[in-house]
């Protein structure tokens, strides 16, 4: 889930490489141990549960002095940061995680924030794209290879011809509004909100269909650690995830809290838009629910979703050498969290 890169580079350059301590002097005086988490993006409301857990002292209760390493275009990927031993826990999206494991990194997925990816396609009312067949013959404004791959994989998964024209695009939906294409690859938590801010109404003036709805299933903001960390310090991993889970459960109760924390503290220097952050948090709450496994609780992995539709999506992108799902994911961490969670 990304804000405009232009806005980011203007307001947040130079803030990406430092690790930030999030506990006060009183907390450090207690018996706490440091733990570092690496983010994929800047300190915005995408990490709502993290900010709430920090602000409410949930991590301190578990004995942690939490630091975080912000992400962004000029920052190392969390997969690199964790592999280098500079963070114990990191965030990663599905395909970068799979690729890192394929290169020999002994990582384990322990949870995912959004079992439904926010990536999809925006279109206008004159020619809406709402189902896979609508992609055939369409002109799609796409930012890069990741987005083009998603379109082609969605067609392949639906046994449709890869008859689509790609037009290079940036991170603003303006080319779609000027009708340079039929569809525009976008995030429901970013560009769709931008159109709402222009006074356009969703499902009337414009349409958004997620790739998940098009049959291409991936997650966003997964949490991972090393197998070594899990084997040697499993209790710490569970404790971290327990505090984080409490933060996300609080976010469900009060969606207005995390945007306030981001704007006042964690992302105070990033020039974030208050209305956008509030709307992003409202929208992303729906993405924390897995429509293929509604019984699963927040952050909890689903074995069938990973080994079924998500592995199918990986194969559709040409990733064929996939290990057994138990080799790359630990389903017991979140089970332990919910067994020991204090409400």
Grouping H, G, I as helix, E, B as strand and the rest as coil, residue 117 is coil
- Whether pLDDT at 144 is above 90: yes
Using pLDDT thresholds of 50, 70 and 90, give the confidence band for residue 342: confident
User: By the 8 A CB rule, do 227 and 106 touch?
Assistant: yes
Boundaries of every domain in the chain: 5-116+218-340, 119-210
Does the domain formed by 5-116+218-340 have CATH 3.40.190.10? yes
Domain 5-116+218-340 and domain 119-210, same fold? Reply is yes
Cα 3 to Cα 8, 11, 27, 241, 246: the distances in Å are 7, 12, 33, 26, 26
Q: What is the mean pLDDT of the chain?
A: 92
Cβ-count burial 284-304 (b if 16+ within 10 Å, e if not): bbebbebeeeeebbbbbbbee
pLDDT at 188: 98
Does the domain formed by 119-210 have CATH 3.40.1190.20? no
Residues of the chain above pLDDT 90, percent: 89
- Whether pLDDT at 105 is above 70: yes
pLDDT for 291-323, tens place per residue?
A: 999 999 999 999 999 999 999 999 999 998 999
pLDDT at 248: 98
User: By the 8 A CB rule, do 243 and 64 touch?
Assistant: yes
Residue identified by tokens 């409202």 is 282
Q: What is the pTM of this model?
A: 0.90
If you compute the radius of gyration of the chain from its CA atoms, what whole number of angstroms results? 20
Using pLDDT thresholds of 50, 70 and 90, give the confidence band for residue 26: very low
């Amino acid at each position: 889930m990304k804000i405009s890169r232009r806005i980011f580079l203007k307001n947040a350059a130079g803030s990406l490489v430092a690790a930030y301590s999030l506990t006060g002097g009183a907390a450090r005086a207690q018996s706490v141990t440091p733990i570092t988490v690496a983010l994929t993006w800047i300190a915005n409301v995408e990490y709502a549960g993290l900010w709430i857990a920090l602000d409410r002292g949930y991590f301190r209760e578990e004995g942690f002095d939490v630091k975080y390493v912000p992400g962004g275009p000029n920052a190392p990927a969390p997969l690199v940061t964790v592999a280098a031993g500079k963070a114990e826990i990191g965030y990663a999206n599905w395909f970068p995680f799979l690729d890192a494991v394929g290169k020999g990194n002994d990582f384990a997925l322990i949870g995912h924030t959004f079992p439904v990816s926010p990536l999809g396609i925006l279109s206008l009312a004159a020619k809406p794209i709402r189902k896979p067949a609508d992609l055939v013959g369409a002109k799609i404004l796409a930012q890069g290879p990741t987005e083009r791959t998603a379109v082609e994989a969605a067609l392949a998964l639906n046994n449709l011809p890869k008859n689509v024209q790609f037009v290079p695009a940036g991170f603003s939906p303006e080319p779609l509004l000027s009708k340079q294409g039929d569809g525009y690859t976008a995030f429901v938590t970013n560009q769709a909100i931008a159109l709402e801010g222009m006074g356009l109404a969703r499902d009337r003036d414009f349409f958004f269909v997620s790739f998940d709805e098009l049959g291409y299933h991936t997650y966003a903001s997964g949490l991972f650690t090393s197998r070594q960390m899990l084997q040697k310090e499993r209790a710490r991993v569970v404790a971290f995830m327990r505090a984080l889970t409490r933060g996300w459960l609080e976010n469900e109760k009060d969606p207005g809290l995390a945007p306030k924390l981001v704007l006042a503290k964690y992302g105070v220097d990033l020039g974030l838009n208050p209305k956008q952050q509030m709307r992003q948090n409202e929208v992303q709450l729906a993405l924390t629910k897995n429509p293929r496994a509604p019984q699963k609780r927040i952050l909890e992995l689903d074995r069938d979703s990973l080994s079924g539709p998500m592995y199918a999506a990986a194969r559709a992108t040409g990733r064929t050498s996939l290990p057994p799902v138990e080799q790359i994911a630990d389903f017991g961490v979140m089970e332990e969290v919910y067994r020991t969670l204090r409400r």
